[in-house]
Amino acid sequence: MTTYSIRMRSALDGQHISGAERLAPPEDLPQLAASMTSRALEHDKGVAETITISIDRIDDEAVRIVDVLEPVQTDNDSPASARELITALLQESGITAADEAVRLAYTLTGLRGAAIIDADTGQRLDSDPARGVRVSTFDAVEHPASDCGKDHFHEAIILASKVASAPGILAEICLSDDPFYTKGYAAVGKRFYRIPNIKAAGGKLGTRIFIVAPGTDIESLTDYLENQPVKIDLSALPPVSAESAPAPARESLDTVARRRNDAWADEGLSRSLRTFSSPQVPHSTIDGRDYLLFSSSDYLGLSTHDALIEAAVAATRRLGTGSGGSRLTTGTSIHAELERELASFFEFDDAVLFSTGYQANHSTIAAIAGADVEIFSDAGNHASIIDGCRAARARVTVFPHLDYVALHAALSSSTARHKLVISDAVFSMSGEVIDVPGLESTCRSHAAWLMLDDAHGVGVLGDMGRGTANHFGVRPDILVGTASKALGVEGGYVLCSTEVATLLRNQARSFVYSTSMNPGSVAAIGAALDQLRGGIVGKRLRENITAVRALLGLSEDAAASAILPLPVGDEARAMDVSAALAERGIFIPAIRYPTVARGEAMLRLTVTARHDEADIARLGRELKDLGLI
């Protein structure tokens, strides 16, 4: 059997926050990679900025099978008593430098690996004090978990068993660097002592100490720990149950939520909802106050158009307020008619309607990208694309934002049977419009499928608002759009071939299992397409985009989007500037991490067809007065 070592490491602000390791057959790798990625993105320390997944084939004959350590449960009510216990265990095993080892365990922080300590002298022996020694290439003979969900006990005893099997190792001390995980362990003499309350909750303590016999060959030991493939035989391990392990101290959900909310707020990332008591028109009422609104994605102002409202009301009176079920059971009424109209308007063979644009991206990617597909996703893509990639069984390669040279290199080195390149056509925060012909040419040269998300291009670019791809004369394999932006309604759609549409109607999970859109919204989308055909609102929008670009010192550009970011940088300053504009009656929210990278906060200004010359002039005065232009 062929075996691979798959490892995940993730970092935030240059600091390691999460890791995982498995030895697995090739068929398990896609699911493990997806699971490890999800784990990195759902850590209490924050959302990882960098996730590295490495996969290496290993020689099965080189794998060493070792016995699991014997678990021993201890009972400690404080970090002080835990520290005393660890010291006593080390002293009883004959380790002279027990006090020094324990002192280092409670003072060293920030190591990516473990410190190696001489048992007699307490001298530190690892060659890289900033990094320490990493333990890698290990797993259980039969892993107790089907994925990489957090199982602290099994993860810890598997790793400790490999360490204990290494030449020269006498003992190990481990304090988790998770500030709220207060359990740890000491491994001494083939026993694994589980130690509750090893440190106080919320503390920054966290390190690993390996204690070795005098004269140990550190170079050989390091090579064993980092490179020797080891599988741990868990057959002698008693079941982890209420009898063999104490029940964890139960925290209320409110307590955990409050802690996470406080940590989020401490980083300046907390958000609150703003309530509109008016439609999203240029002069809107938000939280009881009147503002000039420059943040809506209702680019054409169609959400309040009489034709859309009348179409929605008529359909609601005829068919009701709800669709009654999923499309494949009872939920199809006028939906199929709209799909034909969408396909015709955008000049595709077929269209599949979803309840949201998020669902359209997520389910389409998951349905299309099987295990024989490699996805190539732009680093700046929308969360719905990122989550769709996670849900797919495919291998995922993220290429640097808009770097088609890097994409070309990644496609060239791929050995996947099928390749799927996915990108936003207009990036929702920056407003950047991609080089569609350049991306399409790159895909064509590598026989890759192209999928574009044109949520912010439809209604803004292209003939009669047909979008970014139409503007550049390119037809991708899959084009995803949404009715919730320029069309002024809700819902998403996928434009594609008839065969792909059939596949989505049968296998896209949010199509199959979600209740379909209400008839009123479906009818309103059809009315919005009629407005696009008329061309009047689109012409006004282009004129307003040109006017605001001139105000910001930007040149006229027929391919410019309706999104115009005002870069600020610092998150706190972005919030201050947004608040200062709000005091002057201009509503432009600050966009900050995790929506954009740390240190790249901005004000996201959007233009609509309903802004008039006076609105734009007022915007210019206030931005200039605050030194933003």
What are 481-508's pLDDT values in tens digits? 999 999 999 999 999 999 999 999 999 9
- In the chain, the largest separation of any two C-alpha atoms, in whole Å, equals 88
Q: What are the counts of helices (DSSP H) followed by strands (DSSP E) for the chain? A: 19, 25
3-state class of 614 per DSSP?
A: helix
Query: What is the reported pLDDT for 43?
Result: 61
**Those residues with Cβ within 8 angstroms of residue 214's Cβ, 6 or more apart along the chain or in another chain:** 118, 119, 120, 121
Bigger pLDDT: 355 vs 199: 355
Phi, psi for residue 15 in degrees, rounded to 5 = -110, 135
Q: Are 346 and 466 in contact (CB under 8 A)?
A: yes
Q: Could you tell me the pLDDT band of residue 252, with boundaries at 50, 70 and 90?
A: confident
Taking residue 279's Cβ as centre, other Cβ atoms within 10 Å add up to 13
Q: Could you tell me the pLDDT band of residue 204, with boundaries at 50, 70 and 90?
A: low
Helix, strand, coil distribution of the chain in percent, nearest 5: 35, 25, 40
Helix 335-346 vs helix 519-534: crossing angle, to nearest 10? 20
Q: Report whether pLDDT(241) > 80.
A: no
Query: What is the reported pLDDT for 243?
Result: 40
The set of catalytic residues is 428, 456, 485
Joined tokens for residue 114: 């473990």
Question: Rounded to an integer, what distance in angstroms lies between the CA atom of residue 515 and that of residue 355?
Answer: 8
DSSP 490-533: --EEEEE-HHHHHHHHHH-HHHHHSBPPPHHHHHHHHHHHHHHH
**Those residues with Cβ within 8 angstroms of residue 558's Cβ, 6 or more apart along the chain or in another chain:** 471, 542
Please calculate the CA angle 460-559-569 and round it to the nearest 5 degrees.
90
Edge-to-edge order in the sheet of strand 283-286: 283-286, 289-293, 586-587
Q: Per mean pLDDT, which range of 154-158, 325-329, 365-369, 615-619 is the poorest?
A: 154-158
Pairing status of strand 478-482 against strand 449-453: parallel
Q: Which of 148-157, 460-469, 597-606 has the highest mean pLDDT?
A: 460-469
- Across the range 334-347, mean pLDDT stands at 98
Question: Rounded to an integer, what distance in angstroms lies between the CA atom of residue 594 and that of residue 581?
Answer: 23
Residues in the chain: 629
Bigger pLDDT: 246 vs 36: 36
Instruction: Give per-residue burial for 411-425: e unless 16+ CB within 10 Å, then b.
Output: beebebebbbbbbbb
